Chains A and B, each alone.
Chain A
Amino acid sequence: MAPADVARYQVSPETGKPLRPRPWWGRARFPRQPLARHLVLALLGAVVLYFVTSALSPYNNVLVGEIALYLIALAGLSLLTGTTGQISLGQGAFMAVGAYTVALLMTHTHMNFVLELLAAIGAAATLGLLVGISATRLKGPYLAGATLLLALALPPIADKWSTTFGGDQGLTTIVPTAPGGINPEEWLAWIELAGALITLVLLANLLTSRFGRSFRAVRDNEVAASLSGVHVARTKVTAFAVSAGCAGLAGAFLGLSTGVVSTGEFPLTLSIELLAAMVLAGAGSLFGMWWGAILLVYVPQWSTSVSGDFGLGAGTSAYLATIIFGVVLIVVMIAAPSGIQGGLRWLWEHVSKQWSISRDERAAPRHATHFPPSAADHQPNLVHDPLNE
């Protein structure tokens, strides 16, 4: 701890009173305990978002809701690939499981809505568990190949048994009716935002707990982790299950947002785009994922306004939008390898170093001190370097 922190908590031996006088607002400091801190942040966020959604048009509320659901999926993927180092190209498959679970329950039962969402999370997490178990033996690109095929192979199963799964037309989902007066788009956005905030709080707590330390240990060096007492296989499986559960919730929300669940909504490109957006936003960070979510939602929207600006036909502008997205992806990866969040953090640290010295003194590490570099700086290694193995 920095000297200032020590001074803050030390008590004078003579008087028994704290050395540093408490400020006038007393104990109402920003909580230091992770759970409390996260809850406060989430509550603040909820209040802000409430006002934002009330002010936005119904269509923009649809977009806000989509950003929320992609945020959930990306957060899970960030935990799995960014923090635990398990590269997964199969997030879309878990989303499909969550979506179909919710749709099937809505079609055949009259279960409580929250229970249906929990079932979606559970179903996806169970699949994640199974995949995680097989992933314990696979490293880097081999795991990538397996998850890639999973994303490709799973959705068409719904086509094969089209009577159960609705085939082309898919299964319809029903959003619970909005309490009187609130329009349905805003209501759904609230549900999705609530889900996102809860997910972020839970994941943030997980990452600051010993599980988080195990995740990072497994990412950095499996052998060292195992020697330190971390159960590597169990950690990997947990990471997969948690990440898949997030994807399941996101998939359920996607089904609600669209109104219909069909295989066409979960192509391979979804999984690939999720991975790309996650790395672009900053692999390993949680709150940074909202950049990725914004990209995923806005890039397809953006193409329509581009066509107006340049007077191009809708077809050419659609290609233009994808080309620009690809170029941006490449440029950001080369110029800012820690992604947007990492770049912003670097910028912030660079700028804040120019400010008062006391700021440095007061800046205690927000996470427990650990020897491997923090999540934002270190990215997963795909394979172990044979020289160092």
Chain B
Amino acid sequence: MSLFINITLDGVTQGMIFAALALALVLIFRATRVINFAQGAMAMLTTFIASTLLDRGLNYWWAFVAALAIGFVLGALVQMVLIRPLEGKPDLNPVIVTIGLVIVLEGVAGAVYGNSSRGFPAAFSQSGLVVGGTRIAFSHFDVFILVAVLLLMAANLVLFRATTLGLRMRASAFAREVSRLLGVRVGRLLTLGWGLAGLVGALAGLLIAPTSAFGPYFMDLDLIYAFTAAVIGGLESPVGALVGGLVTGLCISYVGGYLGSGLEPLGALVLLMVTLMARPQGIFSRPSARVV
């Protein structure tokens, strides 16, 4: 029984991290219709920068904030320099550009920081909480992850539903030309969207690094699972990112725990196919009308 509880808790924690990365992917996709394969690599870069700052003696929380800020700037920069020139061009090209970006970022990180794995500190203690006399696989740090991601989702919701800025961003994403006609500065808002996604990605990187073999490639697999989570939840829905993330995290945890770790990708694939067969555009997508 305790095995089941531990596996479930582990799945929830993993799921929250996937949800955070998935949210970044959703933000970008909604705004610019691009799958940002470089989200993980960008988060890796900001985490490496944070690690360098920590090595130089900076306080953890200042490094945390710095990483988020750098993530925002990086996201905005990528959109302005690499994605904007591709507007109006074939849709596959920005995806390839992000793939190129992954190659460049991982190469730069490998060349500058070297191949060896290093440790990255966690914000809080990682030893499990004691519940009813036994230690469970849920630590203070895991609580922090849960709270951080939920706050993130809430902030996202508030931004998009309750503020004018959010309304303008949604308009830019949904009907670009009409928004332009109505005076919305679409270009700037798209950049803002990418910046926010960069910030979210940076947060995800900071949350993952302490429990992983932190090196240039540490975000690769998490990004793939986050992409799965986003697709399951519906690429246009932040709530979908959260639900998709949790479902994916739990699925992987159960498959890995009971069937063996090599079959985790297969489990994720089965989950994805089952979901998409039932709802081809993800769980929380708006069903699109077929216009004939």
Contacts and interface: CB of A to CB of B under 8 A. Distances in A.
User: In their complex, do chains A and B touch, with some C-beta pair under 8 Å?
Assistant: yes
Interface of A: 81, 87, 134, 137-142, 144-146, 148-150, 152-153, 156-157, 159-160, 223, 227, 268, 272, 275-276, 279-280, 283, 315-316, 319-320, 322-323, 325-330, 333-334, 337-338, 378-384, 386-387, 389
Interface string B26-67: 000100010100000000000000000000000000000000
Contacts of A283: 90, 92
Contacts of A150: 269
Given A148-B224, A279-B93, A389-B288, A160 B111 contact: no
A157 B107 CA distance: 30
Contact of A329 (B96, B111, B263, B268): B96
Contacts of B269: 146, 149-150, 152-153
Contact of B263 (A156, A227, A386): A156
B268 A153 contact: yes
Given A141-B231, A146-B269, A227-B292, A279 B107 contact: no
B262 interface: yes
Contacts of A328: 100
Nearest to A380: B92
Contact of A387 (B33, B94, B115, B175): B175
B100 A137 contact: no
A381 B230 CA distance: 20
Contacts of B95: 87, 144, 382
Contacts of A149: 224, 228, 265, 268-269, 272
Given A134-B277, A148-B227, A322-B107, A383 B91 contact: yes
Nearest to A131: B273
B280 A137 contact: yes
Contact of A326 (B107, B235, B277): B107
B107 A280 contact: no
A329 B100 contact: yes
Interface residues on B, range: 35 or more
A160 B174 CA distance: 45
Interface of B: 29, 33, 35, 82, 85-86, 89-97, 99-104, 106-108, 110-111, 115, 174-175, 177-178, 224, 227-228, 230-231, 235, 260, 262-263, 265-266, 268-269, 272-273, 276-277, 280-282, 288-292
A327 B86 CA distance: 16
Given A159-B262, A160-B260, 17 more contacts: A145-B227, A148-B224, A148-B227, A149-B265, A152-B265, A156-B262, A272-B99, A279-B92, A315-B115, A316-B111, A320-B107, A326-B101, A327-B100, A330-B101, A333-B86, A380-B91, A389-B291
B111 A223 contact: no
A156 B265 contact: yes
15 contacts: A141-B29, A153-B265, A153-B266, A159-B262, A223-B290, A276-B99, A276-B100, A319-B110, A320-B107, A329-B96, A379-B91, A380-B92, A382-B33, A386-B174, A386-B175
A315 B95 CA distance: 28
Contact of A139 (B93, B96, B280): B280
B291 A223 contact: yes
Contacts of B280: 137-139, 142
A386 B281 CA distance: 14
Contacts of B175: 386-387
A330 B292 contact: no
A137 B260 CA distance: 31
A338 B281 CA distance: 29
A322 B228 CA distance: 27
B100 A330 contact: yes
A150 B228 CA distance: 11
A323 B111 contact: yes
B93 A333 contact: yes
B215 to A, nearest CB: 13
B224 A268 contact: yes
B91 A337 contact: no
Contacts of A315: 115
A384 B33 CA distance: 10
A222 B268 CA distance: 29
B111 A319 contact: yes
A320 B110 CA distance: 10
A329 B227 CA distance: 22
Contacts of B99: 272, 275-276, 329
Contacts of A145: 227-228, 230-231, 272
B86 A326 contact: no
A330 B82 contact: yes
Contacts of A319: 107-108, 110-111
Contacts of B228: 145, 149
Nearest to A384: B288
B104 A326 contact: yes
Nearest to A378: B90
A81 B92 contact: yes
A168 B224 CA distance: 24
A137 B276 contact: yes
B41 to A, nearest CB: 10
Contacts of A275: 96, 99
A57 B228 CA distance: 46
B108 A323 contact: yes
Given A275-B96, A387-B177, A334 B82 contact: yes
B282 A142 contact: yes
Contacts of B277: 134, 137
Nearest to A323: B107
A63 B175 CA distance: 49
B290 A134 contact: no
B289 A323 contact: no
Nearest to A155: B265
Contact of A276 (B96, B174, B178, B260): B96
Ordered nearest first, which 8 A-B pairs have the shortest CB separation? A379-B90, A326-B103, A329-B100, A326-B104, A153-B265, A323-B107, A382-B91, A145-B231
A366 B275 CA distance: 44
Nearest to A325: B103
A323 B96 contact: no
Contact of B91 (A142, A327, A381): A381
